[in-house]
Amino acid sequence: SIFTFRAPNYMGSPYSLLLPFSNSIWLSILAITTIISILMTISQFYSYSKKSDKTFSGSVITVVGTFFQQGFSYTSSRLSERILLITTLISGMLICFHFSSMIVTVLIRPVPISIVTAEDLAASKLKIAVHNIPYFHTYFKDTKNTYIREFYRKKMKNQHEYVAIPVGVELMRTAGYAFYTEESYQYPSISNTFTDSEICTVSDVELVKPYMVPSPMRKNTPYRKHVNCGLLLMKEVGILARETNQWRTTQPKCQGSIDYSSVHFESLTVAYIVYLTGLILSIVILFVENYIYKKRKELLEQ
């Protein structure tokens, strides 16, 4: 028996736009932006130009715009400031290109399989559904295997469901469930329910490794070698594979998919949060500036 599930697509998460870079890289970008802004403010403070914005906020806007390939609104005749501008342009180009290429790569490549062990499954956000047969009702609760009992305590206790195979397959397809059953039982439902692109995202995890079962025979029998050679011969000539294909349903094969990965609203949550935060903050600051301006004007008139 195995857990079968659809590999989670992290491009559908609210933080998908942050995934191309790790936390350390984002902190490094923030530090680089701050350092370059400070150096640019100092450089412009000693500049002979009267048109350039010599404030720190103006330098931050210039650096952030550079990272998004907006360029500069001015040029400098000083060598030190030109070196700083060129360094900023190169850094911004490399960061922007790498970020954009990672986003495109995630959209066009198959969904990566990030859950390969039962520990990964226990740490994931997938819910658990179990085939509704009497054996499984007692298997997890009464087992003496400490590993299975620990998995049940972490992942399944008070948060799993016993369902029929068609229901479990549908939960796996649409609701983010991992379905536990004997592997060949569910394959016909998966073949009839899943599309070609969905079949390509199906993965499975064994809760415990299956035990190797030997051929039963009499102790010290002289036929041990004959039995072993016969089993090996049946495997080599394909008899075992033929019988397995005849009596057991095989796993649906991924035939490739021409579907493209679309970006949903939830994937752009970070972008909308940044935009709405800046919009609200700018409106608030606008009212504060108007209020301060009116107060100063009233004081001057008095």
C-beta of residue 177 within 8 angstroms of C-beta of residue 165 = no
pLDDT of residue 280: 93
Angle at 244 between CA 239 and CA 246, to 5 degrees: 95
Phi/psi of residue 133, nearest 5 degrees: -130, 150
pLDDT of residue 113: 67
Q: Is 221 exposed, middle or buried (CB count within 10 Å of its CB: 0-12, 13-18, 19+)?
A: exposed
Residue 260 confidence (pLDDT) above 60: no
Least reliable range by pLDDT among 181-185, 231-235, 284-288: 181-185
* Tokens coding 42: 């100092």
Question: Residue 279: enclosing H or E segment and its boundaries?
Answer: helix 269-301
List strand residue ranges (DSSP E) for the chain, in order. Answer: 2-6, 127-131, 160-163, 177-181, 202-206
* Tokens coding 168: 């479990």
- DSSP helix/strand/coil, 131: strand
* Tokens coding 207: 């809760």
Query: What is the pLDDT of the chain when averaged over all its residues?
Result: 78
Tokens 């609104």 sit at which residue?
73
DSSP state string for 163-195: E-HHHHHHHHHHS-EEEEE-HHHHHHHHHHHS-
pLDDT of residue 156: 73
Summarised one tens digit per residue, pLDDT across range 2-51 is 888 887 766 656 667 777 788 888 888 888 888 888 888 887 777 666 66
Residue 102 confidence (pLDDT) above 80: no
